[in-house]
Structure 1
Amino acid sequence: MLQTLANTLPHFRNTNSGQFFLMAGPCVIEGEDMALRIAEQVRQITDRLQIPYIFKGSYRKANRSRLDSYTGIGDEKALRILEKVGREIGVPTVTDIHESEEAAMAAEFVDVLQIPAFLCRQTDLLIAAAKTGKVVNVKKGQFLSGESMQFAVDKVRQSGNENVILTDRGNSFGYSDLVVDFRNLPVMREFGVPVVMDVTHSLQQPNQSSGVTGGKPALIETIAKAAIAVGADGLFIETHPTPASAKSDGANMLSLDRLEALLVKLTRVREAVR
């Protein structure tokens, strides 16, 4: 396992000789066995393809449409599972935080703190994450341009932390759809940070009348290929053995049994464009 991801962050910056990296895992931690199984399978795939891998899992889902939506198995329990994944599978881990006081707590268990898109302008949250010394992955707000994310990077850096990643997840398009403007990736890359395309969240269809987010998973390959073609340093893909039974965001997840074939294609795209 990487001792500290912060010490190796330049490795996650796409170069002429490098490979893109992958953040992947379930939307939310549903249990220990499933988290370990997903992490182990993805680790085996990425090892074969020589793709640097970070396991992704939310310890709690705070941004839900309905009061009865699934939020998690409990903060400490889920965080300890993330810690165990990192220790036993030997990969860095990333989870999202929602309020300033969560930063120090989550930082005890994971390598990367992720700032949700809706919260990317929350100054206190960004400062708290930065002060942990962990890598901070800031998702671009659905309501922002790539250019405006310079200010999020500045907040983290000016708080004493140079380890920043920016992730695009599309822009709001009408009331219940998102569209990806691939210009945002090279624009954000000019800030001197690795940039990631959140493939699966960019295919969400939020604010459905049922209160359950929809999605267009058939376009996962399209978005991923385009992101690699324009120079994304990494991809963010939520994956699950059975998306239809996932506790959260199943409508836009990639089935785990389809991940390797997709990554093989993406490594070929990466090789072609470099």
Structure 2
Amino acid sequence: MRHVSVGGVELGNDLPLALIAGPCQIESEAHARMMAGRLAGIAEAAGVPLIFKSSFDKANRTSADAPRGVGMEEGLAILARIKRDFGLPVTTDVHLPGQCAAAAEAVDLLQIPAFLCRQTDLLIAAGATGKPVNIKKGQFLAPADMTHAAAKVAAGGGEAVVLTERGTFFGYHALVADMTGLEVMRASGHPVVMDATHAVQSPGGASGRSGGNRRMAPVLARAAVAVGVAAVFLETHDDPDRAPSDGPNMLPLSWLPDLLAELVALDRVAKARRTGF
């Protein structure tokens, strides 16, 4: 069973649950810092190690005029300062091979968006940085196919790979999360993460933007932790209904304390049950 170290947070399918969380995109430095501080306190109270996530650019928005974030230069600088000032590992999306080296200077974990998980040049460039790489499973891929994406990172020299489930297309504007896929990806040996918030998204299903049903995200998170995963990925916001992206599927910060308490309890049972597997 492989373990991946992300800025001091150890991810492993047989290790205690970790949390990857933050707002969808960096809206401003003040907002990102506020979110990092509040999340750090919530995670510490729950006894869950935290990796702070927020993207400098959301390049795969539904509409060309949708807000995308603060841009790479400013966004990476903000994440580097959050890492320094809060002592948190940080992660962000990369969309192009040329972004990988610069991002690796600022963050602890490079995230490959689901739509780009087959982009060979991007995966090789991410692997070449030497930083851990989190590959989100494409909504169009079978779980077993993620071994090929991981092999591309390895071809670039990267040895630390994390695989994230975020649902599979089930008709137009609909996703379904197959919990058996978590077990398939676990068999690869790589740490597996459940992205419970993007899995309840309705891609492009809200008249030029994506919709979603955030109330189902805790349901998927609980189910995934019962299977036994390394971490849960939760996008969260202090006021998700006013967020510039992914508001319908992001969780209000106020939901996290109770949800994390449930997930920690489930994780203890699941990991004890799986001892020796």
Query: Counterparts of 2:108 and 2:188 in 1: how far apart (Å)?
Result: 22
Which residue is 1:137 aligned to? 134
Equivalent position to 2:144, from 147, 155, 162: 147
Query: Counterparts of 1:6 and 1:272 in 2: how far apart (Å)?
Result: 25
1:100 aligns with 2:90: no
CA positional deviation for 1:186 = 1.3
CA contact (8 A) 2:7 2:89 kept: no
What secondary structure sits across from 2:97 in the alignment?
coil
Query: Counterparts of 2:77 and 2:5 in 1: how far apart (Å)?
Result: 19
What secondary structure sits across from 1:165 in the alignment?
strand
What secondary structure sits across from 2:258 in the alignment?
helix
CA positional deviation for 1:218 = 0.8
What secondary structure sits across from 2:162 in the alignment?
strand
In structure 2, runs of 5+ residues without a counterpart are 273-277
The one-letter amino acid of 1:12's match is L
Pairing of 1:194-213 with structure 2 (within 5 A): 194-208=191-205, 210-213=207-210
CA positional deviation for 1:209 = 5.3
Equivalent position to 1:88, from 85, 100, 114: 85
What secondary structure sits across from 1:108 in the alignment?
helix
CA contact (8 A) 2:19 2:51 kept: yes
Which residue is 1:184 aligned to? 181
1:14 aligns with 2:19: no
Which residue is 1:28 aligned to? 25
> How much is the aligned-residue C-alpha RMSD, in angstroms?
1.4
CA-to-aligned-CA distance 1:171-212 (integer Å, 9 cap, x gap): 001011100011111111111110000010000011225111
So what's the TM-score if we normalise by structure 1?
A: 0.94
Equivalent position to 1:175, from 168, 172, 175: 172
What secondary structure sits across from 1:183 in the alignment?
helix
**How many aligned positions are there?**
268
In structure 1, runs of 5+ residues without a counterpart are none
CA contact (8 A) 1:176 1:207 kept: yes
What secondary structure sits across from 1:101 in the alignment?
helix
The one-letter amino acid of 1:230's match is V
The one-letter amino acid of 2:101's match is A
